[in-house]
Amino acid sequence: MQIRLSSLLVAAAVAAMASPVLAQKPVTDQMIENDAATPGDILSWGLGTQGQRYSPLKQINASTIGKLVPAWSFSFGGEKQRGQQSQPLIHEGKMYVTASYSRIFALDVKTGAKLWKYEHRLPEGIMPCCDVINRGAAIYDNLVIFGTLDAQLVALNAATGEVVWKEKIDNYADGYSNTAAPIIANGLVMTGVSGGEFGVVGRVEARDAKTGRLVWMRPTVEGHMGYTYDKDGKASENGVSGTTGKSWPGDLWKTGGAATWLGGTYNAKTGLIYFGTGNPAPWNSHLRKGDNLYSCSTVAIDAKTGKIVWHYQNTPNDGWDFDGVNEFVTYEEGGRILGGKADRNGFFYVNDAKTGQLVNAFPFVKKITWATGIDLKTGRPNYVPENRPGDPTGGADNKGKSVFSAPSFLGGKNQMPMAYSPDTKLFYVPSNEWGMEIWNEPVTYKKGAAYLGAGFTIKTLSDGPIGALRAVDPKTGKIVWEATNNAPLWGGVLTTGGNLVFWGTPEGFLQAADAKTGKIVWKFQTGSGIVAPPITWQQDGEQYVAVASGWGGAVPLWGGDVAKKVAFLEQGGSVWVFKLMK
């Protein structure tokens, strides 16, 4: 059933006038490690460093959800109403939520009262690939830490919003940016970089979370040197990533892409952080014969040393922009620690989280043209050679053979994080059915300029729904149920001990379904498209649900025929909070 605004909003506004500034308890490593088991707060992107996006809370369930109503809504304000992809954090009665254009707000969780706002000063000439979004912050000690579109990392006093430290990740004029939520492990704040379409070099960095001091850096393009840094900032070589020249021809490894733009997950039992890596640069695969490590991969890195422990490459020699950045979500099955990943290329992968061994791989979308499957023995895709875009060398009009490919480069799944329930043992995957016409073109690298070497048009596959939330069994590869959606799904997922799954739609609805059957049991119109993941937590005995609302992201910018189909959708910028009506 659809719920409308209630008088609770008025009550919240009145209470906000007298809302006090709440005391701040420092966040420790132990608190972050236990985040998934402590539903009174949310300290990590993913509702726990493993990224499961599962909460054990049961107060809101199929029997009570009919009473779920808005508690308050907060507008991000101004004219900066672009895509809102942030996952809020909750600590000590405060919500920390980032917004478009590198802004962050601290709000009172009960009333929505603004406690402080920090708006990063962005220079002219920033070059974000896919909208001016931000996916969230990290919290440690008395600091809230987030990345900015001009490739900086900013740490703010959690109580006041004042800048404590600020560090430059890289030069935005060279194409670098930062949009991902950082992750904390053992007192270190781990970040990646964005900018794969500009020929940047992907990497993961670890900094002292209290001071911003660089501790280690690990490149994710084979051939580049990693470093560790002492307390005075002196660098020591920490080993080359892979073997120089082994999987990259000539000098292309020097501008190889593999950006780590979605951020990572961490499993304390393995001691590893898991980052997905993006497309190799340029898109024209005929220029870079070889696998092009570590692009389009899952890379497992020792959190303390920055050494790559294992890697698994989802799309070797990628020719379709199938970024492998999607989150690697760890879980336990039969005494084994595994990790699930729904890749942009349309296949779902299960790997051993300690060793990287491929355990299972299967399609989670209905149409895949670039490969017929994944060989479970070798771990490599069975390519369809004629469905690779053609070599433009000597081609008519300097253009290689155009092919139709599914999924499109926007992916079977993109940035929107999935959820895993230890109760149902299912993954809940926001997926899309679409394709593209794609062709290769000659290209030359120029620092700070787009570095594609390809052209494309996104296409619909039919007149039917594009999006589908799918409940996927990682053991059998079966889709247990699906809930389709006319527009592409671009927001993340939450699942709970109340046997519910929450997700948003571009049409503006936050909705919930039975986790076992997929039956939709509740929905609410937020006023703009949802491209962010929902959260839930408990405050003073009451369970809350929240989501950021604001249409944008890659679909309206890059979506071709699909963008035209959803052109009627309105932008916005707000966060909505819900609780059960008494």
Give the closest residue to 88 by CA, choosing from 429, 508, 534, 512.
534
- What average pLDDT does the segment 400-414 reach? 96
Residue type, 237: E
Classify burial at 211, counting beta carbons within 10 Å of its beta carbon; exposed 0-12, middle 13-18, buried 19 or more: middle
The rounded distance, in Å, linking the Cα atoms of 170 and 148 is 11
* DSSP 8-class letter at 201: B
CA gap 416, 496 in Å, rounded: 18
Nearest to 529 by CA among 573, 474, 499, 565: 573
233-266 burial, b for 16+ CB within 10 Å, e for fewer? eeeeebeebbeeeebbeeebbebbbbbbbbbbbb
Active site residue 561: no
Reference 536, options 28, 52, 76, 29; nearest CA is 52
**Residue 16, phi then psi, degrees to nearest 5:** -60, -30
What are the Cα distances from residue 490, in Å, to 93, 411, 459, 480?
A: 29, 11, 17, 21
- Nearest CA to 326 out of 397, 274, 403 is that of 274
How large is the average pLDDT for residues 446-456?
91
Q: E-assigned strands of 10-87?
A: 54-55, 68-75
Per residue in 68-94, pLDDT (tens digit) is: 999 999 999 876 778 999 999 999 999
Position 13 pLDDT exceeds 70: no
3-class SS at 442? coil
For CA atoms 111, 113, 115, 117, give the dihedral sign: positive
Catalytic residue among 150, 318, 321, 343: 321
- In tens, the pLDDT along 360-405 reads 999 999 999 999 999 999 999 999 999 999 999 876 677 899 999 9
Instruction: Tell me how far apart the alpha carbons of residues 381 and 316 are, in angstroms, rounded to a whole number.
Output: 8
User: What pLDDT score was predicted for residue 407?
Assistant: 98
pLDDT band at 562 (very low <50, low <70, confident <90, very high): confident
- Averaged pLDDT score across all residues of the chain: 93
For the beta carbon of residue 4, count every other beta carbon within 10 angstroms: 8
pLDDT at 5 over 70: no
Q: How far is Cα 377 from Cα 149, in angstroms, rounded to an integer?
A: 41
Domain limits, the chain: 2-54+68-580
Element at 143 (helix H, strand E) = strand 143-147
Mean pLDDT of the region 317-337: 97
For domain 2-54+68-580, give the CATH number: 2.140.10.10
The pLDDT assigned to 384 comes to 98
